[in-house]
Amino acid sequence: MSPVMGINHATSGAAVWLAATATLPAFGTDIFPLAPAGVLAGTLVCAGAALLPDADHHSGTIAHSVPVLGRLVARSIEEESGGHRHGAHTLLAAVLVTVGAVLLGRVTTTVPVLGLVPLGPAIATMALICFAVKARSLVQRWGTAWLVGLASAVAVLVFAPDTSGWFPVAVGLGFVTHLVGDLLTVEGIPSLIWPIQVRPPRAWRRTPALRSVWKGNGYIAVPLLGHAGSLREHLLGVALGLYCVYAFGTVALQALHLDVLPH
């Protein structure tokens, strides 16, 4: 069974980040100060991070990122985590990945001209944006996707050099958005307290309506979208995509106005 399509995961990651940073009053203010450039860079990082859980799937987008090596890495993650939609589709994995992003955020180096640059976030941004543009089918070839990733990483370094605050937040939010997306399908995700997998009692398992929410194998689902790849999933993907274009465009205009146009 194929998971929610990569394109819809990437779109939902971008939409959630834009909604959180551009719309909520708590963001972009004293609590979470974020310049428009940070919002735009974070959109791409969050979209890419929303693909990460499917790294456990050897036919997923990430598995195809680098010839041979990508598939080997995906296959070993699949085996380590117990297979697709197991360990990598859990809150535990989300916490580990976010902690990893915090640590990666501290990896810096000094480069001539630019000075101190966040090397860790730059490399992670390159990989995540490469996955994001490939999943959105914005480019056809992986070579082109890596080039777009590299160009984006350079842009992030030049225009939004202060990655320390928003980078781990974008990675963690993207990862959790993926879990929510899969939760909304019939197939569902493992228990929220994985690796502890609690199975429902027998009487529960006999009732189809209850069984579809909390499954015999301990998986949980809120199957509003039906099966993965359904018409409902596609319609939601299109709606979120339109929102992304609107919100990204608005913030981009804001960024140009603040940084380029004198006033």
Contact footprint for Zn ion (CB under 5 A) = 3, 53-54, 182
Tell me the closest approach of the beta carbon of residue 182 to Zn ion, in angstroms.
4
CB 31 within 8 Å of CB 24: no
Q: Verify cis geometry, omega within 30 degrees of 0, for the bond prior to 195.
A: yes
Tell me the closest approach of the beta carbon of residue 100 to Zn ion, in angstroms.
19
Query: Nearer Cβ to Zn ion, position 21 or 65?
Result: 65
Tell me the closest approach of the beta carbon of residue 186 to Zn ion, in angstroms.
13
CB 253 within 8 Å of CB 22: no
Query: Nearer Cβ to Zn ion, position 57 or 148?
Result: 57
79 exposure class (CB count in 10 Å sphere: 0-12, 13-18, 19+)? exposed
Tell me the closest approach of the beta carbon of residue 87 to Zn ion, in angstroms.
12
What is the amino acid identity at position 79? E
**24 alpha-carbon distance from chain centroid:** 19
Query: Nearer Cβ to Zn ion, position 157 or 189?
Result: 189
Tell me the closest approach of the beta carbon of residue 108 to Zn ion, in angstroms.
32
Q: Which residues contact 197 (CB under 8 A, 6 or more apart)?
A: 190, 191, 217, 218
- Residue facing Zn ion at closest CB distance: 3
Query: Nearer Cβ to Zn ion, position 182 or 233?
Result: 182
Length of the chain: 263
Query: Nearer Cβ to Zn ion, position 37 or 240?
Result: 240
